[in-house]
Structure 1
Amino acid sequence: MNWGKGVFLAFVSFAALVAGLVTVSMRQDVNLVTQRYYEEEMNYQAQQERMMNTRALTVLPKVVVSDSGHFELQYASLRDIQDGEIVLFRPSSSRLDQRFTFRAHDDSVAKFVIRPTTPGMYRVQITWSMHDKSYYMEQIVNL
């Protein structure tokens, strides 16, 4: 074998390797944190204000997960909430995220049923409005 064939085979092998890596990388599923990533990034200051409002509260909401496929939002001021949303956020896969909405309750506990999901770490992201202010907090839970 001469030098020409060796160089040619090296280039062909390299091109095949690059083509294979490109094919594999194109088939990877890329999950963004949210589908509205850029829109939410533009509202960054509003999110910071929600978090500052939450830090000013004396009593914070608490999420308690049970083994029976549901979780509870425990909050003494639940009756004052105008509206709210809870997102069970799975960092590793957006397909496992779940959303729940809630409104004021006379009781200080709101219960939610979790659809069957993959066990692991989830971030519970709670956004709510109360007394014409918006609030946001996160809590990490294991399901």
Structure 2
Amino acid sequence: MNWGKGILLSIIGFILVIMTMVVISVRMDGIELVTEGYYEKEIVYQNQIDKEQATLDNQKDVISYDGIERVVWVDLPGGSKGTLHLFRPSDASLDQKVELEGKSSGRIEIPIGGLKSGYWKAQVNWVENGVEYYQEKKLDFK
């Protein structure tokens, strides 16, 4: 075999490898954006930053959890309303939303025993005295 044939076979082999990789990547299932409307949400993200900053400024910590008992507690003040979003980054079909209303008697207990083990995020949005707040905690259940 001479140099010309070797170079030609190398180029053809390279093209075949690249084409195979393209076909495999196009046929892959399960590649999806983390949230629906990701790009639209990115445009209004400054509002989210303001909510997080308000939470930090007022030193509010409303989410706590016990991975062994599999319970999440949300401590909202009386009269406030909010939403708890249990977010599974690896599978959006497992996400859950719970409407919350603050009680003067204490924190709200949300049992999460039915959730699949693994990595979750608990995201709470709430309004208190006309001010919007947001807090997020990472949850890891075994």
CA distance in 1, matches of 2:11, 2:30: 30
Quote the offset at 1:117 in angstroms.
0.8
1:52-94 deviations in whole A, cap 9, x for unaligned?
221232542132234344322234x1x221x211222334443
- Normalising by structure 2, we get a TM-score of 0.78
Which residue does the alignment assign to 2:121? Answer: 123
* 8 Å CA contact retained: 1:96, 1:118: no
Taking structure 1 as the reference length, the TM-score comes to 0.78
Structure 2 match to 1:9: 9
Please say which of residues 54-63 and 44-53 is displaced more in the overlay. Answer: 54-63
In the alignment, structure 1 segments of 5+ residues that lack a partner are none
Could you tell which deviates more after superposition, 2-11 or 129-138?
A: 2-11
Number of residue equivalences: 139
Q: Which moved more, 1:94-103 or 1:127-136?
A: 94-103
Q: Distance in 1 between matches of 2:133 and 2:69?
A: 29
Once the two structures are superposed, what CA deviation does each residue of 1:91-127 show, in whole Å capped at 9, x if it has no partner?
A: 44434433222123343221223333132x3222111
Aligned-pair identity in percent equals 26
2-side partners of 1:112 and 1:62: how far apart? 11
8 Å CA contact 1:87, 1:124 repeated in 2: yes
Instruction: Summarize the Cα distance change of 1:100–1:65 in structure 2 as closer, same or farther, 3 Å threshold.
Output: farther
C-alpha distance in structure 2 between counterparts of 1:85 and 1:117, whole Å:
20
* Cα root mean square deviation, aligned: 2.4
Which whole-Å CA distance do the structure 2 matches of 1:38 and 1:16 have between them?
35
Name the CA shift for 1:40/1:112 in 2 (closer, same or farther; >3 Å): same
Question: Shift of residue 129 of structure 1?
Answer: 1.0
Aligned to 2:96: 98
Q: Select 2:133's aligned residue among 130, 135, 141.
A: 135
Gaps in structure 2 of 5+ consecutive residues = none
Amino acid at match of 2:56: R
Partner of 1:87: 85
